[in-house]
Structure 1
Amino acid sequence: MKRRRFALGATATLAGLALVAGCGSSGQETATALTADAQAKAKELVAPYEGKPGAFPVTERLSSPVPAGTRIAYIDNGNALVSLIFRLMQPAAKELGVDLYAVRAGTSASGVQAAFSTVVQQRPDAVINTAIDPALWDNQRKQLIAAGIPVVSLGTVAPSSSGLVQPNGEAAFERQGRLQAAWLVANNDKSVEAVLYEHNELAYAAAVKKGFESELEKLCPDCTARVVQIPITEVGNKAPERIVSDLQAHPGTRAVVFQSSAVATGLPAKFKVAGLKDIQIVGANPLPTNLQYLKDKQGTVELGADLNTLAWTAVDTAARLIVGQELQPNVVKGDALVHQFLRPEDITFDPTRGFSAYPDVADRFKALWTR
């Protein structure tokens, strides 16, 4: 696959979202027909996530109840997604009978380190982190591991030697990239000139890019893909203008892929003003705003991630570590995230409540936790 790289900026954080809209295409004259074999392979990869979610991530029963008085610390740096995950964890913690409490951290390195230092002093039974890069709290990580306090880390890609348990780690994010690439091949007759907008401040950016580029190259050698950095600080403000300017400068682009669809907030209106259309937008981890865009047919497809099930999985993982139970292989591998491709017709639920692949998640975990 031919690759052209252009850097427009960068910074750090987390996120996720997916969308799919449109733009112009002047490079279609040079596009080559995709082989039936390539499309068949792409459709085979995509099929398990169309019209239904991936498999429920946890199937083994909790071996024993957590001890009375169990306390789990959660690091909350105020980011919207991080705070949302904490709220989604509350029912799970209540059901287990554990005290899940938040330790506030700022977005600065010093604020994060101070929060984790506080947790080290508190000595809870377990710690849960969401998307805060372990490199920012490496000393505290070592102290927690040395003290025998298990740490569940969501949305990070630290090596196994770190001692962190990452239910949705590198494997899940590579899968995201592979599925986004496969969707493009499965839904186009000709080779595609694509752009991947990423935030390299987010630890999982490299994993998404690796999955996307490797799968697109495998399925469509004649497709082209460039990678453009969008500073995380521009999400929710300047990002749509930056994206529109980039697409205007590259009129042959036929497909836009988002590492996180949060960056697309406000984009449909900017596309309309700029007269951009017929561009496929393949997002991931949609927010309620993106889901509304999709329902209104202002987008094509979203690779939804079930954050509610992930939140319950994180609490479940912490409980198993506390009682000394062996974890399921998919959790250890970092591939316990539920994905599903969403089209406009799939938004039959209230978008403001977000995407939930398993509305009965509470009952499923209760059954696993009941002796």
Structure 2
Amino acid sequence: MIPQRRRVLVTTGLVLALGLTAAACGSSAGGSGTQVDQAGLQAAKDYLAQNTRNPTSIGMPELPARPPAGKKFIMLQVSPMAIAQRVANGMKAASGALDWNFTTINAGGTPAEAVRAFEAALAQNPDVICPCGTASSMVFKDQIAEAKRRGITVVQNVVADGPIDGVLANVAGAPQQELYGKLVAAEFIVGSAGTGKAAVFNLNSFPILEAFTKAFEAAVKQWCPACSVDYNNQQLSDVGTKTPANVVAYLQRHPDVKWTVFGNGDLALGVSTAVKTSGLQGVNIIGESPSKANLEAVKSGTETAWAGYPVEMMAWRTVDAVARHFAGAHVDEGVSIPLPGQIITKDTVAGLAVENGEYVAVTGYQNQFRHAWKVG
């Protein structure tokens, strides 16, 4: 695990996939020296080379038997960002493949609203509740205990929580984010020839994205002592509104910074247009979890690179964890396998596995899940 460097703020929030103002700049990682660490630069190049080709497998072992049909699955949807809807769509499709009934409840933007949403889910007495993207250990302690008492399965995804009593599994938790943070760091280091300065724009109200930032910083510190990283916290309400101007203002104050890093593709909404309009030159936009807009921007050259995060596959993985539970299989045998991903650049973007313009990593991943679940 990447060592903790900053206190993580715990509130509700999604992955996949995310807020306070850019005026708050955090501590720096990396050094101010000019000597390039050639061994570190080569290590970053090697890591990129290992994560460039298209994945071909979801990596899930087959279940011993088909999971029972007719389960009622409720997702608590906490974020208005597009990536949250992609997660919901993926979980709905996966539930349908198992002949399960899937619905969502809007969990709002505060812990109190999320608790009310969980209690509304409990009132429906479902088989499964997923407080997706919410730090359950801090928010839902009483509700999880009640679900356990009633025999309701609770599963979560894209949160930084460790094992929690009463929660079946945490899919795509902090270790997954650490892999993508390292991949984005390698792209920055290689692209800047081991001497770059990066500004990270992220939402520390979402602890899972803090895991990405910490992993990015740790890899830069390890491989590139001549590089530097500055952290800039954003608010969820700033995404697509104030964030583009915040990024431009930062770059104008720091003309030597040519790399901007985003913990989620939706965070970069409007940034490339704002940078172009400002007249700034040589700015690179990189990050993880690209949307279809980010992929198109890579094709056009207005954004540089993204670590592909298969959001919809992560949603199917969440359903898979519950399917394994109901089929009597070991849940960890699926949850412990990292999601596939790769670095996406202008050289590779045209050959990606995409559906409806979104990165999915593996062509036909749904059929691989159906095969593993013995549902045809």
TM-score by length of 2: 0.85
Residue in structure 2 matched with residue 157 of structure 1 by the alignment: 160
Question: What do the CA deviations read for 1:84-103 (whole angstroms, capped 9, x no partner)?
Answer: 21112223222211112223
Structure 1 unmatched ranges of 5 or more:
18-29
What residue in structure 2 maps to residue 303 of structure 1?
307
Task: Please give the secondary structure, in 2, of the residue aligned with 1:62.
Answer: coil
Task: Find the aligned partners of 1:56 and 1:319 in 2 and give their Cα distance.
Answer: 19
Query: Deviation digits for residues 144-179 of structure 1, max 9, x if unmatched?
Result: 234343222111111213443112001011112111
Per the alignment, do residues 61 and 16 of structure 1 end up closer, same or farther by CA in structure 2, a change over 3 Å counting? closer
Deviation of residue 133 (structure 1)?
Answer: 3.0
- Residue of structure 1 equivalent to 2:228: 224
Q: Please report how far the alpha carbon of residue 245 of structure 1 lies from its aligned counterpart in structure 2 after TM superposition.
A: 0.4
Q: What SS does the aligned partner of 2:103 have?
A: strand
Alignment of 1:313-324 (within 5 A): 313-324=317-328
- CA shift for structure 1 position 16: 5.5
Once residues 319 and 111 of structure 2 are traced to their aligned partners in structure 1, the CA distance between those partners, rounded to angstroms, is 26
* Distance in 1, Cα, partners of 2:332 & 2:358: 27
1:369 aligns with 2:373: yes
> What is the deviation of 1:285?
0.4
Contact 1:69 1:99 in 2 (8 A): yes
SS at match of 2:360: coil
Question: Counterparts of 1:196-207 in structure 2 under 5 Å?
Answer: 196-207=200-211
Deviation at 1:12, TM superposition (A): 6.3
Whether 1:326 aligns to 2:330 is yes
Q: In the aligned structure 1, how far is the partner of 2:253 from the partner of 2:143?
A: 45
1:126 aligns with 128
Q: Report the AA paired with residue 361 of structure 2.
A: A
**1:281: how far off?**
2.1
- Tell me which moved more, 346-355 or 245-254: 346-355
- Look up the equivalent residue of 1:261 and give its one-letter code: G
Once the 2 structures are TM-superposed, how far is the Cα of residue 301 of structure 1 from its aligned partner? 0.5
CA 1:155 to 1:338, structure 2 compared with 1: closer, same or farther past 3 Å? Answer: same
Partner of 1:358: 362
8 Å contact from structure 1 (residues 61, 369) kept in 2: yes
Identify unmatched segments of 5+ residues in structure 2.
Answer: 18-31
1:76 corresponds to: 77
- Whole-Å Cα distance in 1 between the matches of residues 150 and 178 of structure 2? 32
Aligned residue type for 1:218: Q
Q: Distance in 2 between matches of 1:367 and 1:103?
A: 30
**RCO greater where, 1 or 2, for CA within 8 Å and sep 6 or more?**
1
Question: Displacement, 1:200?
Answer: 0.5
User: Does 118-127 or 220-229 show the bigger shift?
Assistant: 118-127
Distance (Å, rounded) in 1 between the aligned partners of 2:78 and 2:186: 34
Aligned residue for 1:295, secondary structure, equals helix
Structure 1 residue 330: Cα displacement = 6.0
What's the secondary structure of 2:286's corresponding residue?
strand
Distance 2:355 2:64 in 1: 36
Q: CA RMSD in A?
A: 2.5
Pick the aligned partner of 2:244 from 226, 240, 245. 240
Task: Report how far residue 302 of structure 1 moved.
Answer: 1.0
Shift of 1:249: 0.8
What residue identity is the alignment partner of 1:344?
A: K
Picking from 105, 108, 111, the partner of 1:106 is 108
Contact 1:289 1:352 in 2 (8 A): no
- Post-superposition offset of 1:78: 5.7
Tell me, what secondary structure is at the counterpart of 1:75?
Answer: strand
Partner Cα separation in structure 2 for residue 323 and residue 190 of structure 1: 49
Aligned 8 A contact 1:45 1:179 in 2? yes
SS of the aligned residue for 1:161 comes to coil
Aligned pairs for 1:133-144 within 5 A: 133-134=135-136, 135-144=138-147
Match of 2:37 among 35, 38, 42: 35
**Identity among equivalent pairs (%):** 23
**One-letter amino acid of the counterpart of residue 293, structure 1:** A
Q: Is the 8 A contact 1:58 1:313 kept in 2?
A: no
The TM-score normalised by the length of structure 1 is 0.86
User: Do the aligned partners of residues 309 and 16 (structure 1) sit closer, same or farther apart at CA in structure 2, a change above 3 Å counting?
Assistant: closer
In structure 1, distance between residues paired with 2:198 and 2:11: 22
Picking from 180, 205, 216, the partner of 1:176 is 180
Aligned position for 1:21: none
DSSP 3-state at the match of 2:231: strand
| Residue 267 of structure 2 is aligned to residue 267 of structure 1 | no
Q: Among 340, 343, 352, which residue is 1:341 paired with?
A: 343
- Structure 1 residues 138 and 277 mapped into 2: Cα distance closer, same or farther (>3 Å)? farther
2:23 corresponds to:
none
Decide whether the 8 Å contact of 1:291 with 1:351 is kept in 2: no
Shift of 1:329: 4.4
Which secondary structure state, in structure 2, belongs to the residue aligned with residue 302 of structure 1?
Answer: strand
Cα gap change, 1:91 to 1:14, in 2 (>3 Å): closer
2:171 counterpart SS class: coil
Cα distance in 1 between the residues matched to 2:333 and 2:214: 22
| Cα distance, 1:82–1:202 mapped onto 2, change above 3 Å | same
SS at match of 2:200: strand
**Alignment map for 1:278-293 (pairs within 5 Å):** 278-293=282-297
How far apart, in 1, do the equivalents of 2:15 and 2:98 lie? 28
CA distance in structure 2 between the partners assigned to 1:97 and 1:109 by the alignment: 32
Q: Relative to structure 1, is the Cα distance of residues 12 and 250 closer, same or farther in structure 2, using a 3 angstrom cutoff?
A: farther
User: Do the aligned residues in 2 keep the contact of 1:285 with 1:305 (CA within 8 Å)?
Assistant: yes
